[in-house]
Chains A and B, each alone.
Chain A
């Protein structure tokens, strides 16, 4: 018989309680870090271009491929000598705007569909939710590209297309919430008092489902920023010369051997923004809705 070489840690209750507190603290810290990262990024992209001496479109051939930290172009320059830091800030405006706007639109669509489906249930509800299931059968990037490729790509259409592929999760979350809230006493009371369906749905039930919607929306910003990066990287999103964090990378592969920072830096900005929203979303989930915790 083999002897057990390893036993699960049997820790004292006091130590376990301390570990729990530590866990909460770390999670909280992560959410704070995420919030900090988002605020810094938003401020940087909003105010930075007014202060920074370089323009994102100014071509400076003498400083082509300037390396980071070696010249006045603090984060280096691209193939046309355009200042990378200036471009990253302007690109951030585009990417963050698309992220927030797509989140707002997808939250509205998802909340609307979810509320209707959850409240009415029955044939309407199951039809709407089967529609959600069906849209989720398409791999998101395939659907996104198919839609994006056939519209005139600009800030507005790309935002709409991203929203069109990102509302389903919200719809699922809201549907489940509304379906359970519908049976609660206060909802039945409103019904007995003769309140209209619309009033019950949007004034009685929906305010009680705000917490999971806030969580889902925060995570959706992260998702939307990522989707914008993907579609722009693949050439069907925001079009140059307007920079976005995604499209700054679409020529970077050619210069990987000579100017790797052109690929690395925009990616780091994307990761910082997306991680920020994911951390905040996760922290909010812990704080607002412990039942949804899967990790």
Chain B
């Protein structure tokens, strides 16, 4: 266990370092680099720009600059927002909660619905339901999230007026029910892609488990089919899904950005988009790095959970 843990950690650290190199490259390859914001100020001369570049240390060799940036990042100094001079990590933390809320609620919806579709598709293989689920999943993966969001708003907010069209809560209300009602549409919209992916992988996983010897043994022992399905098949089929869930994190974050934009949801995705609009370079870089680290940790956590949940996995 310890050896596995150490090796996975070492691999993650190498990836983290590569992520930082790519992040730094994006920062410096962009025309203007970290100076982009200053070039927009009227009356800025080249000489003054040079002076700023010197003050920011941008005239030093790239490896030195990289080392400085990396060192400060590790120490938690991710710079300050150009917009309001708040520390970048503070700004991210302030916008993290709504995004997490959205991701968690949509994941719960997706796992419940996706499991239902996937299990039913597997036990009624090649049935009409199975075909509809297969074709439906492929179409769901082809629908742009923002378009689906607009359709949901059109139907449930404009036509039926059942659900609010956006925001975290109604100003002046803010009760728990009000929060919950605002969460419904964006969660469903964000869940669509995950439902499709989850149900497809679970169906495949179920079909694999069904052919295992222990299922045949259980059947030979006369265990009722329902018990076999719930106790043995589904439980075992869900195990590898832990890894799938971990791998979905980048997709989920991308989807959250788009969903937050459509539903004016004040989360990290919208912060990212707004920061790009303001050319708020430190925040853009901060969120880019933060999301990559989140993805990395998510994958690591999924691996460890999988190993912990399945005693057959040898950890060395």
Contact = CB atoms under 8 A, between A and B. Distances in A.
Interface residues of A, number: 62
A134 B158 contact: no
Given A130-B14, A131-B18, A282-B138, A6 B257 contact: no
Closest 10 CB pairs of A and B: A267-B147, A150-B30, A134-B18, A274-B142, A141-B254, A139-B253, A4-B224, A19-B126, A275-B142, A137-B292
B272 interface: yes
A233 to B, nearest CB: 5
Interface string B202-213: 011000001000
B148 to A, nearest CB: 8
Q: Is the interface of B mostly helix, strand, loop or mixed?
A: helix
Interface string A51-84: 0000000000000000000000000000000000
B142 A222 contact: yes
B1 interface: no
Q: Is the interface of A mostly helix, strand, loop or mixed?
A: helix
B143 to A, nearest CB: 6
A2 B203 CA distance: 26
Contact of B226 (A4, A134, A140, A295): A4
Contact of A256 (B134, B139, B150): B150
A287 interface: no
A149 B291 contact: no
A5 interface: yes
Nearest to B201: A294
B141 interface: yes
Contact of B291 (A8, A9, A138): A138
Interface stretch (A20-28, A114-122, A185-193, A198-206): A20-28
Nearest to B126: A19
B276 A226 contact: no
Interface string A116-136: 000000000000001101111
B147 A270 contact: yes
Given A20-B126, A150-B32, A138 B22 contact: yes
B147 A23 contact: no
A234 B126 contact: no
Contact of B22 (A135, A252, A263): A135
Given A142-B253, A222-B142, 19 more contacts: A2-B226, A4-B225, A8-B229, A20-B126, A131-B22, A134-B15, A137-B19, A137-B295, A138-B291, A139-B250, A139-B254, A140-B251, A147-B26, A149-B276, A150-B30, A235-B277, A256-B153, A266-B147, A295-B134
Interface string B125-150: 11100010011001101111111001
B123 interface: yes
